[in-house]
Structure 1
Amino acid sequence: MTPAWAYATAAFIAAWLALYLVIRGTRGPLTVYPFLLVYRLRYSRAPYAPGTRARLIRAYGLVSVPLAMVSAALFYYVSAELFVGRYIAPTQASSQEGFVPLIPGVTVGLNELIYILLAVGVAVLVHELSHAVVARSVGVPIRSAGFLLLAFIPAAFVEPDEEAMKAVRVRSKAMIYSAGVAANLALGLTFMYLTGYLAAHLANGVQIVSVQPGSPASHAGLQPGMVIVAVNGTPVRTVEQGLRALIRSGAEGPGAAVMTLSVLYQGVLRNLTVFKPAGYARLGIEVVQAFSIPWLMSFVSAMYVVNFGLALVNAAPLAFPLPGFGVESDGGQALREALSRFRAGREAAAAVELLTLLLLLSLITIAPVRLP
């Protein structure tokens, strides 16, 4: 039987091909390439007038530069650790770690995809607005802006005046390039705190996500989606509490054990008796934290993950070739600008971008992304 995600993928590809065949190129503000849609807005903004607002935004731009440098260093640090764990000193766990691409139905479930796409939309909008306001604060007008859709991933862009960009100092250019990274880093830190805070206050049991066939849990009638709220009458709110209660009841270890699990499933509370015969080391379930407001936790954690990921990848010097044009990261533009005054500086920047892209591609892994 063909899985549902295969039909969804086929329909998705067919829709993109139909759109490309109908428009094929540029029609008014809309440009369509295979799996890439660009919509340019009639958006033009002059530089800010001298004053307190412009000075405050320039101060933010100055702070953004070291934050972007720290983000780039963190990208290389994480990449180096992953590279060593995968290729130089691999272990069973480290060989599976890496950068996970968003593939609906494969790495991201459809119920989680909506939160990730919302987070991506917010993150890129804030990112591009940060570029725009810092550019205007240093005397660079914005000539156009717009939105794009890369396959199913939403994004945004602003286009500063090219002649004005050439005229400003290198420090001002660095401020413009770094502003988006700093904004995403700030959002990532904010939502990291919110994730921890909400996790402590909204924890509402231990959710079963998979049951091993033929295991004691399977024989007892446990199913994915059930939420364990008590073990032998002891309430459990967090995964840590649930694991401790299960260990005390004998769920871990080779000996026989009998326990009563109170589970919530489809709004009904049930008590299930689980018998683990001697010789079974575990019950055979995989669990995650359950929350009283799951959609809020999913969105907040997606904002945390997406903003940190966008900050690190954008801070690194990268260039991605796309149909009709290429996309260069903020770190790539900053590096190219910094090296342009040296002989063969642009070639050196291109070489660094290529090596960084190869490093990133070598660490791609296909693993499920699971939000709370």
Structure 2
Amino acid sequence: MNVLWYYAIAFIVIWVLALLFKDKLKIDINGPLLMRRTGRMRDLIDRIAQKSPRFWRIFMNIGIPVAVFFMAYTFYLIILASTMIFQAPQVVPILPGVDYPGNPLFLPLGYGLIGLVTVIIVHEFAHGILARVEGVKIKSIGVLLFTIIPGAFVEPDEEEVKKVSRLAKLRIYAAGSIFNLSLAAIALGILYILSSFFIPAAFHSEGITVTSVVPKSPSDGILKEGMIIYNINGQDIKNITEYAQLRNNTKIGDILTFKTNQGTFTIKTLPNPNNSTLAYAGFRSADNLVLNKGVSNTYGDIIPWILFYLKELFTWIGILNLAVGTINLLPIKPLDGGLIFEELLGYKLSKETVRPIVNTISYVLIAILVVNIVYGIGRGILLSI
């Protein structure tokens, strides 16, 4: 079954239950948004904040210029993307488990959901911790659902936030993204260690595995997820690097013959949805890993594969926290980046001058993002028909 059907079924089930048990579970329904507030976890946030408030202030004093750097860099990337919207959309939403033509990245369902949970929890708890460090009361904590997209929130008292110093506000606003970027750095560091030392010592590659097939692509209905490809057009393929070299030399309209563990299959390449000058087969792949001799005898079969799955998990935790952390720093209100930008301008300019500047930049960036997303998804849907 297409993953989108699972999303649709989950949407119906969750919203029916929310409507039926709205009062009992104390769920607020605001248009497409479900929210459930609670006072729980506030004590935990208080304990973390008060254990070492000086550390958190120093950490965020370092984090503020980091946040400003990523704000400027992400702003530059979005402006650059605006010049290439109709060549290839640079900003495309990615749902866990959903693949379509033109989607530059496929996010596996399980890893994606776990990664998004880490993004949300770390981000919101960070705001809560720094709010309490600065003496701001937390009104509520809760979980939310925007149509089918889960989330969480920590709601500081806005009136108390207004009363703290400008530097304290910057610490609170920057905390979410800085914690996301910090977790991304930790995850990618662990990934580097696993990929550089443990995985090569435990595994070697024999061919490539088809990890997913893009719907309505040349490979759709021919190749299948889980197939192992050993040879393409008479050339042995030992790993993903060798496949990438062959793919780079493939032209539009070329016939590719795949020898796999499930038989021999042939496809004809088409223009790539992201770049019409490149050939496109329409499947994603990874190294087909096999345990090295002697590894099973020493460590068994389970431990090496646990390390492999941890590598995959930390890959997506790192990527998602990096992506969300940086995008959230765009100078767009009400994103954290917009709030930081507004406070920075407020050091030298009056509120009457700051407000139109921030609003104008917000509208321009939102327009660029919307055009990218609508064009990217629309083109993907048209290619899937």
Is the CA contact (8 Å cut-off) linking 1:16 and 1:34 kept in structure 2?
no
Structure 2 residue 342 is the aligned partner of structure 1 residue 336: yes
**Counterparts of 2:213 and 2:2, CA distance in 1:** 19
TM-score (norm 2): 0.68
**Counterparts of 1:65 and 1:131, CA distance in 2:** 13
Specify the alignment match of 2:365 in structure 1: 356
Q: 1:166 to 1:224 in 2, by over 3 A?
A: closer
Shift in Å, 1:152: 2.5
**Counterparts of 2:256 and 2:140, CA distance in 1:** 67
**Counterparts of 2:194 and 2:81, CA distance in 1:** 29
Specify the alignment match of 1:98 in structure 2: 91
Alignment of 1:38-49 (within 5 A): 38-43=35-40, 44=42
Specify the alignment match of 1:86 in structure 2: 85
User: SS of 1:132's equivalent?
Assistant: helix
Q: 1:329 to 1:291 in 2, by over 3 A?
A: farther
Is the CA contact (8 Å cut-off) linking 1:177 and 1:330 kept in structure 2?
yes
Q: 1:207 to 1:73 in 2, by over 3 A?
A: same
Shift in Å, 1:330: 0.8
Q: 1:141 to 1:283 in 2, by over 3 A?
A: closer
User: SS of 2:129's equivalent?
Assistant: helix
Matched residue type, 1:70: F
**Counterparts of 1:339 and 1:290, CA distance in 2:** 49
Specify the alignment match of 2:330 in structure 1: 316
Structure 2 residue 285 is the aligned partner of structure 1 residue 288: yes
Specify the alignment match of 1:33 in structure 2: 30
Specify the alignment match of 1:324 in structure 2: none
Is the CA contact (8 Å cut-off) linking 1:29 and 1:41 kept in structure 2?
no
Specify the alignment match of 1:15 in structure 2: 13
**Counterparts of 1:252 and 1:192, CA distance in 2:** 32
Report the more deviating stretch, 63-72 or 329-338. Answer: 329-338
Specify the alignment match of 2:117 in structure 1: 121
Q: 1:15 to 1:171 in 2, by over 3 A?
A: same
Specify the alignment match of 1:279 in structure 2: none
**Counterparts of 1:283 and 1:119, CA distance in 2:** 29
Shift in Å, 1:178: 0.5
Alignment of 1:248-267 (within 5 A): 263=260
Is the CA contact (8 Å cut-off) linking 1:199 and 1:291 kept in structure 2?
no
Report the more deviating stretch, 123-132 or 26-35. Answer: 26-35
Report the more deviating stretch, 354-363 or 334-343. Answer: 334-343
Shift in Å, 1:48: 7.6
Is the CA contact (8 Å cut-off) linking 2:36 and 2:142 kept in structure 1?
yes
**Counterparts of 2:106 and 2:326, CA distance in 1:** 25
Shift in Å, 1:121: 1.0
> Radius of gyration: which is bigger?
1
Matched residue type, 1:18: V
Kindly report the root-mean-square deviation, in angstroms, between the aligned alpha carbons of the 2 structures: 4.4
Q: 1:167 to 1:198 in 2, by over 3 A?
A: same
Shift in Å, 1:16: 5.0
Alignment of 1:79-228 (within 5 A): 79-87=78-86, 90=87, 95-102=88-95, 105-107=98-100, 112-199=108-195, 201=199, 204=205, 205-208=207-210, 209-210=212-213, 223-228=224-229
Structure 1 residue runs of 5 or longer lacking an equivalent are 266-271, 277-281, 320-327
Shift in Å, 1:147: 1.6
Shift in Å, 1:18: 2.6
Is the CA contact (8 Å cut-off) linking 2:96 and 2:106 kept in structure 1?
no
Is the CA contact (8 Å cut-off) linking 1:57 and 1:134 kept in structure 2?
yes
* 1:251-310: CA deviation from partner (whole Å, max 9, x where unpaired): 979xxx99995x556xxxxxx67899xxxxx99684521364564444223212211121
**Counterparts of 1:288 and 1:314, CA distance in 2:** 30
Shift in Å, 1:57: 0.8
Shift in Å, 1:173: 0.3
Q: 1:259 to 1:75 in 2, by over 3 A?
A: closer
Is the CA contact (8 Å cut-off) linking 2:208 and 2:230 kept in structure 1?
yes
Structure 2 residue runs of 5 or longer lacking an equivalent are 268-278, 290-304
Specify the alignment match of 2:271 in structure 1: none
User: SS of 2:351's equivalent?
Assistant: coil
User: SS of 1:31's equivalent?
Assistant: strand
Specify the alignment match of 1:239 in structure 2: 240
Is the CA contact (8 Å cut-off) linking 1:317 and 1:335 kept in structure 2?
yes
Shift in Å, 1:6: 6.4
Is the CA contact (8 Å cut-off) linking 2:99 and 2:215 kept in structure 1?
no
**Counterparts of 2:167 and 2:68, CA distance in 1:** 14
Specify the alignment match of 1:305 in structure 2: 319
Is the CA contact (8 Å cut-off) linking 1:20 and 1:33 kept in structure 2?
no
More helix by share: 2
User: SS of 2:83's equivalent?
Assistant: helix
